[in-house]
């Protein structure tokens, strides 16, 4: 049942509202009649609600009556679609609607009571509300909406011009009366709801008309973001990409590749809690530290992110689940969507674990983040604790410990960054990550990852710079394996075109205990991104990668990335 | 020669694709509608009467309108109310506060929601009346209205210590078209 509320202009002394259950109506007949009636007699402001006409108010004043506007501010008072139509519609409705018949005695009693309180001719005999539920197909009512909108636009302009100035005191009195009447309407609705056990969903709470003039109870009347069980909580967005790729490596072929199909789902569980997830379908084998697992052309499904976030204030947010580890900048700025990224792919340093990456890109655990009171400096912190990467099991197993940690020791990460007001788009920060790896049959290895970044990101320009150092220190061995890496990326947008350049470097020892396959990789990438529309980007990228002890790789990729 | 076939194929595909798309699509990428400078009105930043905030700096406003601030000092979550694209009030906010065009603004929020930094996208409403009602009803809401659309149901906050009726106020919006 729609919670109907009624607001009208100062000359309205009384009003009676009946909510007629549309289950008893023949929508086509009613709409046809209303369309013809409204087009002839409509003379007041009318506004159409967001999707469907949920509430129509009729009065029996006939074609001669105009609803003088209260003034420019009276618009605050209008709540739902308001029409003036002839009494013919009322009689028609009453003749076909049994619900109306049931409610008519109550309406008459109210009308009589109001007439006694306000003697004198009533400018409006009665008002009725007709609810049209969402069961009506949009295509059925669209022509009517069109007619109504055209009429309303014209008539609204006329009305505003003719509007007399309202007496403030009278307005206040009438507003009080309206509040009382609304309360009575609610009583009637409540009584009807009790009589009918199955009711349609209620009207959106936010569309309640404010009782202007009563400043104090606003907070009580306010109904912000209250959970509505009739509302769909999930919001979904999709991302995808398709790539044509080729290079000069042996055994590689020029191929069309389906990239990641990413279903990004969010939900406002409550005002403080939010859910976020990325469900990714991706084809091809996994590549974990150089070891290939799986078949070439099969698809798999990964829950890449699944986070429940509690937001207490700007200074404290807590997220639990599987998230992107706050190492450096790129890993938390870009997730599983190439459409967001300027280039066709992530820098090698931040490549995903199952695509040969060397960082623990994903963590299952808890992450606290927020603002540090620092004025114009804009300092932020991120503190994380999680399972860390798998190490005891064979390296080719799933590197992210989604369900079971292979040891009690937890990984920690702390990141600090600043976004100063003085330079728009600038972010500077560093992070430190610590974990203890326990490969089978070898000493434990302490893993420390230091990262620093300085990025300038503006809508038309970006300059990303990051440097990392991955340190692996096996227990009982004096040697520490340092793997440094960095990348710099520059791009500028010219209209729909965005040329870009990236240079990346990573140098791992050939005796590195965790990722011995990486070695030295360095080289530039050049590319052009073309935004064919707001949601589709075409990218052409050339990569040159020099490898230690192997021929350099020249690669070319053409990618279409999109969101939907 | 066979080694060159792959890259050449990719290159040719790229040239063909981009050329075809360039011809097929008129770039609809958002350009900020330039407000006409005639007789301007001031654009007030409005919050709920129950909101204790009285003044916001331009930098704070920018953070709020870009979703980088999600809570008011009293702990309530900020709900941003924007008018529909094409409205001069929105154009002023995008230009003077967000310093973005329509496309960049949409992408910013999409990206923000994607990263989890932005808790909720702006609520878009069609009319000043709708904005006023929404701000009245939602204690954490912030929106904008022409001074002529203000009434006692909402509170206009000062921007950089200047109210919308003060000289030197920074946000101006062109008059409504007569149509």
Mean pLDDT across the stretch A457-464?
92
Residue after which a domain boundary falls, among A166, A183, A202: A202
**Same domain flag for A191 and A323:** no
Task: Find the DSSP H helices in A301-389.
Answer: 330-333
CA atoms within 13 A on the CB side of B42: 18
pLDDT at B65 over 60: yes
Restricting to A residues 539-558, those with a Cβ less than 8 Å away from any Cβ of B are: 540, 554, 556-558
| Within-domain flag for B33 | no
Q: Which long-range contacts (CB under 8 A, 24 or more apart) does A70-74 make?
A: A70/A9, A70/A10, A70/A163, A70/A166, A70/A171, A71/A163, A71/A165, A71/A166, A72/A160, A72/B148, A72/B149, A73/B151, A74/A9, A74/A163, A74/A166
Q: What is the tally of structural domains in chain A?
A: 2
Chain A residues within 8 A of B136 when measuring between CB atoms: 76, 210, 212, 218
| Within-domain flag for B28 | no
ipTM given for this complex: 0.75
**Same domain flag for A320 and A196:** no
| Within-domain flag for A412 | yes
| Within-domain flag for B23 | no
| Within-domain flag for A557 | yes
| Within-domain flag for A248 | no
Q: Are A492 and A460 in contact (CB under 8 A)?
A: yes
| Within-domain flag for B1 | no
The answer to whether the CB atoms of B101 and A459 lie below 8 A apart is yes
- What is the rounded distance in angstroms from the CA atom of residue A561 to the CA atom of residue A159? 50
Q: What is the tally of structural domains in chain B?
A: 1
pLDDT at A414 over 60: yes
The answer to whether the CB atoms of B148 and A311 lie below 8 A apart is no
pLDDT at A460 over 70: yes
- What is the rounded distance in angstroms from the CA atom of residue A192 to the CA atom of residue A103? 9
Q: Which domain holds residue B136?
A: 41-173
Confidence of residue A77 (pLDDT cuts 50, 70, 90): very low
Mean pLDDT over each residue of chain A, to the nearest integer: 70
| Within-domain flag for A217 | no
Q: Which residue has the tokens 């710079």?
A: A465
B174 vs A165 pLDDT, higher one: B174
| Within-domain flag for A168 | yes
- What is the rounded distance in angstroms from the CA atom of residue B120 to the CA atom of residue A267? 10
Chain B residues within 8 A of A219 when measuring between CB atoms: 50, 139
- B11 in contact with chain A, both atoms CB, cutoff 8 A: yes
| Within-domain flag for A7 | no
| Class of residue A319 by CB neighbours under 10 A (exposed 0-12, middle 13-18, buried 19+) | buried
**Same domain flag for A187 and A269:** no
CA B26 to chain centre: 24
CATH of the domain at B135: 3.40.190.10
Whole-Å CA distances, A553 to A225, A352, A523, A544: 54, 20, 9, 6
- What is the rounded distance in angstroms from the CA atom of residue B73 to the CA atom of residue B53? 8
- A380 in contact with chain B, both atoms CB, cutoff 8 A: no
Chain A residues within 8 A of B48 when measuring between CB atoms: 218, 222
The residue of chain B with its CA nearest to that of A330 is B115
pLDDT at A153 over 90: no
Phi, psi of A268 (to 5 degrees): -85, 100
pLDDT at A464 over 60: yes
- B149 in contact with chain A, both atoms CB, cutoff 8 A: yes
Q: Quote the tokens at residue A233.
A: 């909580």
- Residue A395's pLDDT is 62
pLDDT at A325 over 70: yes
| Within-domain flag for A247 | no
The answer to whether the CB atoms of B21 and A335 lie below 8 A apart is no
| Within-domain flag for B94 | yes
A85 vs A367 pLDDT, higher one: A367
**Same domain flag for A142 and A276:** no
Q: What is the DSSP letter of A349?
A: G
| Within-domain flag for B14 | no
Chain A residues within 8 A of B51 when measuring between CB atoms: none
| Within-domain flag for B75 | yes
* Four-residue CA torsion sign, A508, A514, A516, A517: negative
| Within-domain flag for B2 | no
* Four-residue CA torsion sign, A297, A322, A535, A556: negative
- A246 in contact with chain B, both atoms CB, cutoff 8 A: yes
- A147 in contact with chain B, both atoms CB, cutoff 8 A: no
Mean pLDDT across the stretch A388-415?
81
Q: Which of A269, A187, A271 is nearest to A223 (CA)?
A: A271
CATH of the domain at A389: 2.40.160.10
pTM for this predicted structure? 0.64
Chain B residues within 8 A of A266 when measuring between CB atoms: 113
Q: Quote the tokens at residue B151.
A: 């009434």
- Residue A38's pLDDT is 41
The answer to whether the CB atoms of B113 and A218 lie below 8 A apart is no
| Within-domain flag for A157 | yes
- Residue A322 sits at the vertex; the CA angle it makes with A318 and A327, to the nearest 5 degrees, is 80
Q: Which domain holds residue A166?
A: 19-202
């Amino acid at each position: 049942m729609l919670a109907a509320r009624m607001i009208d202009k100062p000359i309205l002394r009384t009003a009676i509202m009946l909510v007629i259950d549309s289950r008893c109506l023949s929508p086509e007949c009613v709409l046809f009649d209303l369309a013809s009636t409204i087009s002839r007699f409509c003379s007041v402001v009318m506004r159409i609600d967001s999707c469907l006409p949920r509430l129509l108010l009729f009065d029996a004043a006939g074609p001669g009556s105009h609803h003088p506007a209260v003034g420019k501010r009276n618009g605050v008072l209008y709540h739902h679609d308001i029409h003036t139509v002839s009494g013919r519609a009322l009689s028609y409705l009453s003749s076909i609607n049994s619900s109306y018949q049931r409610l008519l005695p109550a309406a008459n009693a109210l009308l009589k009571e109001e007439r006694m309180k306000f003697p004198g001719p009533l400018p409006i005999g009665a008002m009725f509300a007709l609810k049209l539920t969402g069961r009506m197909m949009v295509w059925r009512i669209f022509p009517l909406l069109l007619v109504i909108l055209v009429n309303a636009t014209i008539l609204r302009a006329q009305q505003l011009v003719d509007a007399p100035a309202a007496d403030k005191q009278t307005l206040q009195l009438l507003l009080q009366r309206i509040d009382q009447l609304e309360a009575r309407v609610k009583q009637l609705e409540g009584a009807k709801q009790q009589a009918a056990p199955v009711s349609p969903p209620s009207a959106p709470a936010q569309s309640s008309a404010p009782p202007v003039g009563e400043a104090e109870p606003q907070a009580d009347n306010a109904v912000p973001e209250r959970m509505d069980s009739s509302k769909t909580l999930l919001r979904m967005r999709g991302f995808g990409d398709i790539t044509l790729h080729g290079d000069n490596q042996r055994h590689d072929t020029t191929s069309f590749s389906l990239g990641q199909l990413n279903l990004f789902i969010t939900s406002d569980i409550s005002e403080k809690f939010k859910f976020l997830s990325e469900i990714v379908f991706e084809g091809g084998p996994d590549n974990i530290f150089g070891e290939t697992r799986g078949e070439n052309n099969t698809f798999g499904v990964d829950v890449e992110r699944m986070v429940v976030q509690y937001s207490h204030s700007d200074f404290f947010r807590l997220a639990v689940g599987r998230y992107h580890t706050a190492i450096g900048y790129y890993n938390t700025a870009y997730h599983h969507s190439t459409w967001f990224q300027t280039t066709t792919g992530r820098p090698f340093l931040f490549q995903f674990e199952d695509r040969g990456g060397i960082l623990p890109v994903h963590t299952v655990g808890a992450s606290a983040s927020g603002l540090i009171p620092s004025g114009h400096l804009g300092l932020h912190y991120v503190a994380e604790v999680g399972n860390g990467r798998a190490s005891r099991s064979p390296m080719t197993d799933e590197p992210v410990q989604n369900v079971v940690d292979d040891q009690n020791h937890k990984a920690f990460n702390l990141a600090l960054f600043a976004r100063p007001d003085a330079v728009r788009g600038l972010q500077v920060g560093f992070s430190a990550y610590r974990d203890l790896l326990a490969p089978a049959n070898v000493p434990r290895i302490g893993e420390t990852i230091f990262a620093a970044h300085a990025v300038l990101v503006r809508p038309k320009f970006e300059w990303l710079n990051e440097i990392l150092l991955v340190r692996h220190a096996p227990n009982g061995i004096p040697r520490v394996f340092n793997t440094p890496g960095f990348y710099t990326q520059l791009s500028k947008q010219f209209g729909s075109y965005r040329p870009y350049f990236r240079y990346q470097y990573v140098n791992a020892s050939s005796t590195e205990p965790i990722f011995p396959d990486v070695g030295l990789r360095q080289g530039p990438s050049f590319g052009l991104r073309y935004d064919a529309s707001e949601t589709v980007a075409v990218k052409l990228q050339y990569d040159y990668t020099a490898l230690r002890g192997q021929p350099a790789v020249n690669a070319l990729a053409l990618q279409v990335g999109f969101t939907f | 020669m066979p080694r060159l076939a792959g890259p050449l194929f990719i290159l040719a595909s790229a040239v063909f694709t981009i050329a075809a798309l360039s011809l097929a699509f008129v770039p609809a990428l958002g350009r900020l509608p330039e407000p006409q400078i005639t007789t301007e009105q001031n654009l007030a930043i409005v919050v709920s009467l129950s909101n204790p905030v009285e003044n916001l700096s331009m930098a704070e406003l920018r953070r709020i309108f870009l979703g980088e601030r999600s809570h008011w000092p009293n702990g309530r979550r900020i709900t941003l109310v924007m008018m529909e694209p094409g409205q001069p009030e929105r154009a002023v906010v995008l230009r003077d506060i967000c310093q973005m065009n329509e496309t960049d603004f949409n992408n910013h929020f999409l990206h923000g929601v994607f990263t989890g930094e932005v808790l909720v996208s702006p609520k878009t409403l069609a009319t000043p009346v709708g904005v006023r009602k929404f701000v009245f009803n939602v204690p954490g809401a912030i929106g904008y209205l022409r001074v002529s659309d203000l009434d006692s149901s909402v509170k206009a906050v000062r921007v950089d210590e200047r109210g919308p009726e003060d000289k030197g106020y920074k946000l101006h919006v062109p008059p409504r078209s007569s149509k």
